[in-house]
Structure 1
Amino acid sequence: MDSKMYIDKYYMTEVDSFDDSIYCHHAMMREKIITDHKHDKGQFLYTEGGVVFLKTEQKSYFLPARHYIWIPAGIVHSIHPSSPQVIMRNLYFPRFETDPIFFDKVHIYPVNDFLIEFIMFTNRWNGNIFPTEEPKFSIAKTFKLILPEVSKTELPLALPYPKHEKLNEIVAYLEERIDDNVGFKNLANQFDLSERTLARLFQRELNMSFIQYYTILRMLTALKLLLDEKLSVNEVATRVGYSSLPTFSNTFNKIIGVRPSEYIKNKNLLF
């Protein structure tokens, strides 16, 4: 099945066939990419068995194990799993009058044990759930309603795309030399910019400082290395430019929410 057929069958035609239904779909990806598409319903996406990159027109999101992403209705996005064996658990919801602003933007949040139990409970459902199907519809609707209540620590597992030509070159330079611990002053010199101009470029174009962008870039790279390759925490720290293991561990914990040693230990459980 090619990716276009996959989109037509599961991600466009069936999901949006009925305005008031909640659509449920659990399946192994079997695809390397699901190309750009959008829905008339908001999407809850949780994955097992690997990592997913999700790209919108503005940002690239990194969805690791034991996290979910909320995608509002109308957001054009593509899905890039780490392997075709990734299992996607999707719930698509119509807008309810009581929806808070929480559902108006893309979010990535960790999933606690309670939410995992709820997600696994939905495994028995497939396809449209209509308002007349009680108590199933009320249970599914409750799933959406509890998300703002159990999602309190949003993770910055996303990086904006630079549209500025020079900044695009700078970001590519940083990605290619992720193990070099590139300094701000040296970066400015490399691209023949003053430090003040470079700082303004990051803030104006990406709405974050150089150090914020570079730290998130390094931590997302570290997360991918921990998940995809059999490397020690010390090796991963070196690969993303950290000579101090405690500094790397503390930074990882601040961004991701757990220490890298804990993440490795629990990795198999999370999948």
Structure 2
Amino acid sequence: MDNKYYLTEVDKVSKSIFCYHNPMDSILIEHHSHKKGQFLYTEGGVVHVKTDTRMYYLPARHYMWIPAGVRHSIYPSSPKVIMRNLYFPIKKSANEFYKKEGIYHINNLLMELLLYTKNWNGDIRKSQKNKYPIVNAFKTLLEQSVSNSLHLELPHPTDTKLIGITTYLSDKIDEEHLLPSLASKFSMTDKSLYRLFKKDLGMSFIKYYTQLRIFKSLEYLVNSDYNISQIANMVGYSSLPTFSNTFSKVMGKRPSEYRRSNEIYM
């Protein structure tokens, strides 16, 4: 099934569970939505998932739940990325888990069941006794084993000036930016820039900027041969221990651990 056209098949059979595993090959999957909820797991790199309000950074060995009806686009950080998807019909009375976007760690049991389906693509119906019980059990385990959502996303700014500022931060990610100098560059006071971040994005400048740097470093860790000290410099950290400690606070593991855990399950 072609990467570009499988999306038209997801909702054709309303009661089926749709399964799709494939390398991304750097293809942008443009803004779309489904009537089914989407389980999206990735290996081999970072996948960007953009909704109307946020940019999510889905790292390897994690999954994202995208509720039915949420418009989103998907693009990988590398052609090596493999995407594993299961699309489920969701009832209105379903668990709250299925109604909100989130990124989560995947446990071993879910991983084993997911890999069991790796050669399946297309609709899985109740009549398929050798397949349907597996994916239906997967859905049940999903809500029963869910942990706290990881905050691996950044909100989209709506203020015109702040759009320019956040674009500048992203473009100049290899430089260190302090609030006073950034405010001065954009002809603002420290206080007015601080308030703009809080008002428009609901977070402080330092939190936004820290997360932007760490999320960018994820791409370098999995898509390059740069050492960790080089990557720290590439996202504006002059101190390797500071980068490593900050990465650990955001991601729950050291950069070296994250890099080691990125192999692909075939």
TM-score of the aligned structures, taking structure 1 as reference length: 0.90
Distance 1:254 1:270, change over 3 A: farther
Distance across 2 between alignment mates of 1:174 and 1:31: 24
- Which of 229, 232, 235 is the aligned partner of 1:237? 232
Structure 1 residue 88, shift from structure 2 partner:
1.8
2: CA distance, partners of 1:265 / 1:95: 36
Asked whether the equivalents of residues 34 and 78 of structure 1 are also in contact (C-alpha less than 8 Å), the reply is yes
Partner of 2:101: 106
Compared CA separation, residues 255 and 32, structure 1 to 2 (3 A): same
User: How many percent identity over aligned positions?
Assistant: 47
Corresponding position: 1:180 with 2:175: yes
Of 20, 37, 42, which residue of structure 1 is paired with 2:37?
42
- In structure 2, distance between residues paired with 1:217 and 1:244: 17
1:33 to 23, 28, 35: 28
Q: One-letter code of the match for 1:169?
A: G
Secondary structure of 2:212's counterpart equals helix
Q: Provide the C-alpha distance between the structure 2 equivalents of 1:131 and 1:98, rounded to a whole number of angstroms.
A: 20
Deviates more, 1:48-57 or 1:73-82: 48-57
Counterpart AA for 2:263: N
* Structure 2: segments with no counterpart, 5+ residues: none
Aligned residue number for residue 58 of structure 2: 63
Q: CA deviation at 1:270?
A: 7.0
**RMSD (Å) for aligned C-alpha atoms:** 2.1
- 1:114 is displaced (CA, Å) by 2.3
1:10 to 2:30 alignment: no
The answer as to whether partners of 1:66 and 1:270 remain within 8 angstroms in 2 is: no
Report the AA paired with residue 159 of structure 2: H
Amino acid at match of 1:67: H
Q: Write the distance in 1 (CA, Å) between the matches of 2:152 and 2:77.
A: 16
Deviations 1:171-215 (A, max 9, x none): 012112222221112212221222222122111111111111011
Letter in 2 for 1:198: L
Match of 2:236, SS?
A: coil
Read off the aligned partner of 1:42 and give its amino acid letter. G
Give the stretch that moved more between structures: 137-146 or 217-226: 137-146
Equivalent-residue separation in structure 1 for 2:232 and 2:3 (angstroms): 38
8 Å CA contact 2:44, 2:264 repeated in 1 = no
**Gap runs ≥5 in structure 1:** none
